[in-house]
């Protein structure tokens, strides 16, 4: 076990040996194994955005086995997906890559302003499929947020009792927050704090913009001169907001974009002390060899940070 992984595990001393072992599995697997950094492949976009928007660019992605292969070939720390995708490959690829079962999902066919995801899996499913962790999305800013907080409180308790790790995707969204506010640095930092308080071991947020959304927060950012001018500074602030860096915070890739723009973001995230990335569309929407090359480039930036 590397010194860094041991140090990270020490932040989670309240957890049982099963959960610590599963956290270690996530941290020790793949090309970044042992570095304390993670790159995770998430493929829940088929449910969240629909099949064509997700897979038409690279039709190999319609096949659930493709994503296991991509995560394995690229040496990702883990592969995260909803129930159906994991059930379709968990036996064939058993033991090849740590799995994270996403326990809630929402589709884009209902266009209300307040996301209210359904529970689409449970802890027993995660155990049956050999997962290392459960995954759950919360939408701070939605009128349904309190229901989500209560659901993850129950699920996290159950998962931890069963020795699993808990990953929370924290996405501010809904009628309580403006579009610009969804990625505002104060809001993303707050979202990371909420996920940490809900007991997440790993927290996933979007890269924060320089916008400050909440008036009460703005006064503090200004009076305390919190540096948020560059992406690296904002990432540092978000990581600090999740228990002063004592929780693993990783950042999403976002919509498919050009190589250079993505790499620039990753460099800033690494410079700001981010623990890694979760890269979905930017990887599985490219041809596999290109995706593997890109994921390796991303991993090497984190490895050398």
Binding site for ligand FBP (CB under 6 A): 42, 44-45, 48, 169, 252-254, 278-282
In order, the DSSP letters of 205-246 are EPPPBS----HHHHHHHHHTT---SSHHHHHHHHHHHTTTTT
Return the closest-CA partner of residue 107 out of 53, 152, 61, 46: 46
Q: How far is the CB of 118 from ligand FBP (least distance, A)?
A: 15
Phi, psi of 174 (to 5 degrees): 130, -175
Q: How far is the CB of 49 from ligand FBP (least distance, A)?
A: 6
Residue of 102, 160, 204, 206 with catalytic role: 204
Residue 252 · residue 227 · CB < 8 Å: no
Q: Which C-beta is closer to ligand FBP: that of 54 or that of 226?
A: 54
Q: How far is the CB of 97 from ligand FBP (least distance, A)?
A: 16
Q: What is the DSSP letter of 120?
A: -
Residue 131 · residue 166 · CB < 8 Å: no
> What number of CA atoms fall less than 13 Å from residue 114's CA on the CB side?
11
Q: How far is the CB of 105 from ligand FBP (least distance, A)?
A: 9
Q: Considering Cα of 76, then 170, then 22, then 232, what sign does the dihedral take?
A: positive
206 is an active site residue: no
CA–centroid distance for 246 within its chain: 16
In order, the DSSP letters of 162-202 are TT-EEEEEE---STTS-TGGGGBHHHHHHHHHHHHHTT-SE
Q: How far is the CB of 10 from ligand FBP (least distance, A)?
A: 28
Q: How far is the CB of 45 from ligand FBP (least distance, A)?
A: 5
CA distances from 19 to 22, 77, 102, 122 (A): 5, 16, 17, 17
Q: How far is the CB of 1 from ligand FBP (least distance, A)?
A: 29
Q: Which C-beta is closer to ligand FBP: that of 15 or that of 182?
A: 182
Return the closest-CA partner of residue 24 out of 16, 32, 34, 15: 34
By beta carbon distance, the residue nearest ligand FBP is 280
Q: How far apart are CA 247 and CA 175, in angstroms?
A: 28
Q: Which C-beta is closer to ligand FBP: that of 160 or that of 204?
A: 204
Residue 201 · residue 166 · CB < 8 Å: yes
Q: Which C-beta is closer to ligand FBP: that of 35 or that of 283?
A: 283
Q: Which C-beta is closer to ligand FBP: that of 43 or that of 226?
A: 43
Q: Which C-beta is closer to ligand FBP: that of 5 or that of 121?
A: 121
Q: How far apart are CA 271 and CA 304, in angstroms?
A: 10
Q: Which C-beta is closer to ligand FBP: that of 174 or that of 280?
A: 280
* Catalytic residue list: 204
């Amino acid at each position: 076990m590397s010194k860094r992984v041991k140090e990270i595990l020490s932040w989670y001393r309240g957890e049982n040996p099963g959960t610590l072992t599963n956290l270690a599995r996530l941290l020790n697997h793949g090309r970044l194994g042992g570095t304390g950094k993670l790159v995770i492949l998430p493929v829940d976009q088929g449910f969240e955005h629909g099949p064509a928007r997700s897979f038409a660019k690279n039709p190999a992605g319609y096949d659930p086995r493709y994503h296991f292969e991509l995560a394995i070939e690229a040496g990702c720390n883990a592969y995260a997906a909803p129930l159906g995708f994991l059930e379709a490959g968990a036996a064939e690829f058993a033991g090849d890559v740590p799995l994270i079962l996403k326990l809630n999902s929402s589709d884009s066919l209902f266009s209300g302003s307040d996301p209210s995801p359904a529970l689409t899996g449970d802890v027993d499913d995660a155990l049956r499929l050999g997962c290392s962790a459960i995954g759950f999305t919360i939408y701070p800013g939605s009128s349904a947020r309190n229901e989500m907080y209560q659901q993850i409180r129950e699920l996290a308790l159950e998962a931890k009792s069963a020795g699993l790790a808990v990953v929370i995707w924290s996405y501010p969204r809904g009628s309580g927050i403006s579009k610009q506010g969804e990625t505002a640095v104060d809001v993303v930092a707050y979202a990371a704090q909420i996920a940490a308080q809900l007991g997440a071991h790993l927290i996933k947020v979007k890269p924060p913009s320089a916008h400050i959304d909440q008036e009460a927060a703005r006064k503090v950012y200004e009076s305390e001169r919190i540096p948020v001018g560059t992406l690296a500074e904002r990432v540092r602030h978000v990581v600090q907001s999740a228990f002063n860096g004592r929780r693993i915070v990783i950042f999403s890739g976002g919509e498919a974009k050009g190589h250079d723009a993505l790499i620039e973001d990753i460099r800033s995230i690494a410079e700001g002390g981010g623990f890694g990335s979760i890269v979905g569309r930017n990887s599985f929407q490219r041809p596999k060899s290109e995706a593997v090359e890109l994921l390796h480039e991303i991993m090497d930036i984190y490895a050398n940070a």
